[in-house]
Structure 1
Amino acid sequence: MVEPKTTLTDGSPVTPDHREINPATGMQKGYVVLSAEERAKGFVRPYRDAYRHQTCGAVTTMGRALGETYARDPFFYSGTFCATCGKHFPVGEDGEFTWYEMDGSDGPRVGT
């Protein structure tokens, strides 16, 4: 099986130091996404760009490339960032996030 091509959110190549955390924001130096070509193959889940952290209740939004990566491959990530807590937490069946739907309700767990 051929591994899908990945880039950082800005389209640049994935660097070895992309996971370094910025102490001021808690965010990584860069975030890996599926390449534009991979995302253009279509989505297996609806495109969403906001999720709720069940622990603190806050909603975090994300950029288009990240949302499209989740829509193309819901299992691509093992965790995501809470902008309010300033930290990364797990996603998946036992994860801490649900999708924030357009009507304000909680959708399924992120990463499922």
Structure 2
Amino acid sequence: MYELTVLPQDIGADQYVPDRSIFAFEPGPIREQPSLDTLAIVANFFLDGFEIEIFGQRIPTRQQFAYRHLIVEHNLLNKHGEKFRQQIIELKRQGRKTEPAFALALGLTGDPYTELLKNDKSPNC
């Protein structure tokens, strides 16, 4: 039900190399996600039953998609209230990841990661 997304701080493109040596254990595949406007490097793994995702792009943290998703989700939870929050919790209990759960609760169609960003009103992007 719970997942944690780790966002690396803003680093230069020449320093941004996926390196397995940063892990004290085998993290699973580290992959490039080229479908985004800005290439992302993503690693997913489980630690003590808790899903961890490291997501980074070669842009300042506040412009990275994962950070922007967190802001949008926070704003949507505040806007739609407790009943909506409980609906998201239930969808996550059923095994959905966060963005797909929000998209389903909001009736969004298409790619949930892209559709949620359409709600981003922050000046940082």
TM-score bin (small chain): under 0.3
Could you say which structure has the larger radius of gyration? Answer: 2
Question: Whose helix proportion is higher, 1 or 2?
Answer: 2
Could you say which structure has the greater relative contact order, defined with CA pairs below 8 angstroms and 6 or more residues apart? Answer: 2
Task: Give TM-score scaled by structure 2 length.
Answer: 0.25
